């Protein structure tokens, strides 16, 4: 299908050749799972040498209901009045801009979104997200007549939840998809430490997403189910059941600025409870990023103003990746805080370096090396 995506107020529609796709991925438990997404075919020449590259676009948080799949918003995003359309806009902008430079792009819907598989979307799970991104690239390389092939250079791009997914893909590539020529990754505002992130968003505009995380934990780690039931009160159980079927704009409208202590049997913040439960600590550790060197080069971006994903996480991730032997370009943005808790300091910075990062990524896909900033 050819769609017109309107990016920003009053903007003209951008033509995109988009095809919905379905492919196999792997759950954290090792099972195959049907996963959907969208493939955006470039009609511009690729001048960087070799077959046309493929870049995976890892979406930011969209919700947990099956209907919230990013690909389902593509045809409606041209209408600014469409609820939830904004969730897909920056991925579509990138699809258009990278397509103009001769690069094919593919956007995963993540596991549990877009396809009724009988499982809940395992929100911010490292292995589920990384696999969904890597398998979307594999699927894109198999589409005939697009100029891409299994020999194409590949990369990933993501911000916020998408930054964590892109980072996970880069970390998992060498073991999970060693045949991919993984050259470059943009990872912005990466939630590398879920415990720290859950603590930061509690009481913020994104506080409802804590429910997404708990539902995802239960789906992947069933041993946590009885513990979650024990520590959530009746309002908490209703909260978890409700957000499991919601998209982000619905969750924010109902649960923004609420605190998790409203939903626990002890009246304590959720993170306080999780911190004293060994099984929960193991889950949080299992999903931590930074313990494995990523493949290719990584542009790591974060702003000091970020009121959703703490800036210190990016600095620690840079240190960890460099120590593990990664090739990292850390590009922090020194920005003042603006109305903390409303997400402004989190959302705006992704726009400030976008042109530089695109140039950087095109260079990596063309085979140019980058020394990075480690050391």
Question: Considering only CA atoms, which of 108, 112, 142, 89 is closest in space to residue 38?
Answer: 108
**Rounded to the nearest 5°, which phi and psi values hold at 33?**
-145, 135
Question: Domains of the chain: which residue ranges?
Answer: 2-192+291-365, 194-285
Strand order in the sheet with 297-303: 2-6, 13-26, 32-40, 104-108, 54-58, 153-159, 181-188, 297-303, 327-333
Cα distance between residue 54 and residue 95, in whole Å = 11
Q: How far apart are CA 216 and CA 220, in angstroms?
A: 6
Query: How far is it, in rounded angstroms, from Cα 43 to Cα 121?
Result: 33
DSSP string covering 143-180, please? STTSS--TTSEEEEEEETHHHHHHHHHHHHHHHH-TTS
Burial of 115 (0-12, 13-18, 19+ CB in 10 A): middle
Which class does domain 194-285 fall in? mainly alpha
The hierarchical CATH code for the domain 2-192+291-365 is 3.40.50.1820
Give this prediction's pTM.
0.93
For 181-191, write each residue's pLDDT tens digit: 999 999 999 99
Measured N-to-C along each axis, helices 209-220 and 248-255 cross at an angle, to the nearest 10 degrees, of 120
Q: Say yes or no to pLDDT of 62 above 60.
A: yes
Whether residue 88 is predicted with pLDDT greater than 60 in this model: the reply is no
Place of tokens 């990524």: 361
CB 89 within 8 Å of CB 57: no
How big is the chain, counted in residues?
A: 375
Q: What letter does residue 258 receive in the DSSP assignment?
A: -
* 341: confidence class by pLDDT, cuts 50, 70, 90: confident
Confidence at 349, pLDDT banded by 50, 70, 90: confident
83-87, 147-151, 176-180, 355-359: the lowest-pLDDT one: 83-87
Assign 51 to helix, strand or coil.
coil
Confidence class of residue 77 from pLDDT cuts 50, 70 and 90?
A: low
């Amino acid at each position: 299908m050819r769609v017109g995506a309107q990016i920003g107020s009053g903007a003209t529609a951008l033509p995109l050749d988009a095809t919905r796709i379905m492919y196999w991925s792997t759950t954290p438990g090792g099972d195959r799972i049907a996963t959907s997404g969208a493939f955006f075919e470039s009609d511009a020449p690729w001048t960087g040498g070799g077959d046309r590259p493929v870049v995976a676009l890892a979406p930011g948080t969209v919700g947990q209901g099956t209907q919230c799949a990013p690909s389902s918003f593509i045809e409606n995003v041209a209408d600014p009045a469409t609820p939830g359309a904004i969730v897909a806009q920056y991925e579509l902008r990138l699809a258009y801009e990278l397509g103009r430079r001769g690069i094919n792009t593919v956007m995963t819907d993540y596991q549990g979104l877009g396809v009724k598989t009988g499982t809940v979307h395992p929100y911010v799970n490292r292995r589920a997200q990384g696999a969904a991104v890597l398998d979307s690239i594999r699927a894109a390389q198999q589409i005939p007549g697009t100029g891409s092939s299994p020999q194409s250079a590949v990369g990933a791009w993501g911000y916020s939840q998408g930054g964590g997914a892109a980072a996970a893909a880069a970390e998992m590539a060498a073991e999970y998809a060693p045949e991919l020529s993984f050259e470059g990754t943009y990872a912005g505002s990466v939630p590398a430490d879920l415990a720290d992130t859950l603590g930061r968003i509690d009481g913020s505009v994104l506080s409802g997403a804590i429910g997404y995380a708990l539902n995802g934990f239960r789906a992947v780690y069933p041993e946590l189910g009885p513990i979650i039931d024990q520590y959530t009160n009746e309002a908490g159980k209703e909260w978890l059941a409700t957000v499991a079927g919601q998209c982000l704009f619905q969750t924010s409208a109902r649960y923004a600025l609420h605190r998790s202590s409203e939903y626990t049997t002890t009246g304590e913040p959720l993170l306080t409870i999780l911190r004293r439960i060994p099984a929960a600590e193991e889950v949080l550790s299992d999903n931590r990023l930074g313990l494995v060197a990523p493949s290719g080069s990584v542009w790591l971006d974060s702003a000091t103003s970020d009121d959703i994903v703490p800036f210190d996480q990016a600095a620690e991730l840079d240190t960890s990746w460099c120590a593990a032997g990664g090739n990292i370009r850390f590009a922090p943005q020194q920005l003042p805080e603006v109305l903390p808790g409303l997400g402004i300091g989190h959302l705006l910075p992704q726009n400030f370096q976008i042109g530089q990062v695109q140039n950087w990524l095109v260079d990596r896909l063309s085979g140019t090396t980058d020394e990075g900033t480690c050391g």
